[in-house]
Amino acid sequence: MLIMRTLGKVRRSGTSLFYCSRLPMLAVFSLGLLWPTLGRAQSETDFYDDGTSLLGQKKYAEAAAQFRKSIETDPRYREAWQALVDVLRAEGKAD
């Protein structure tokens, strides 16, 4: 509704019709780009990426927590298991 009101105001103000016809398309396109991220739960790769970022900052406890969340999401995620082992070794907790 807001788009239609804006479109009508733009047409009455004398702005070109080319601009007016692109406004709704731009709004739909923008919503399409944002739609996949709205309300989406984090995946195992998101947790893994967060963990590797924290590992690079030497925040071992937080990195281990992220790797564990990744493993809970997908227990077969081999890279997350290996990264968790690396964190535990860096902390001196794994032999």
Structural domains counted in the chain: 2
User: Could you report the per-residue pLDDT of 31-46, keeping only the tens digit for each?
Assistant: 555 555 555 568 989 9
| 8 lies in the same domain as 26 | yes
Q: Is the pLDDT of residue 2 over 60?
A: no
Mean pLDDT of 15-29: 55
Signed CA dihedral, 7, 11, 13, 15: sign only: positive
Domain that holds residue 76: 44-91
DSSP code, position 40? P
This prediction has a pTM of 0.57
Backbone dihedral region for residue 27 (phi beyond 0: left; psi -120 to 50: alpha; all else: beta): alpha
| 33 lies in the same domain as 50 | no
| 60 lies in the same domain as 86 | yes
Task: Tell me the range of 16-20, 37-41, 78-82 where mean pLDDT is highest.
Answer: 78-82
In angstroms, the CA 10 to CA 26 distance is 15
Closest listed residue to residue 20, CA positions, set 36, 42, 39, 5: 5
- Give the confidence band of 24 by pLDDT, cuts at 50, 70, 90: low
| 67 lies in the same domain as 51 | yes
| 61 lies in the same domain as 83 | yes
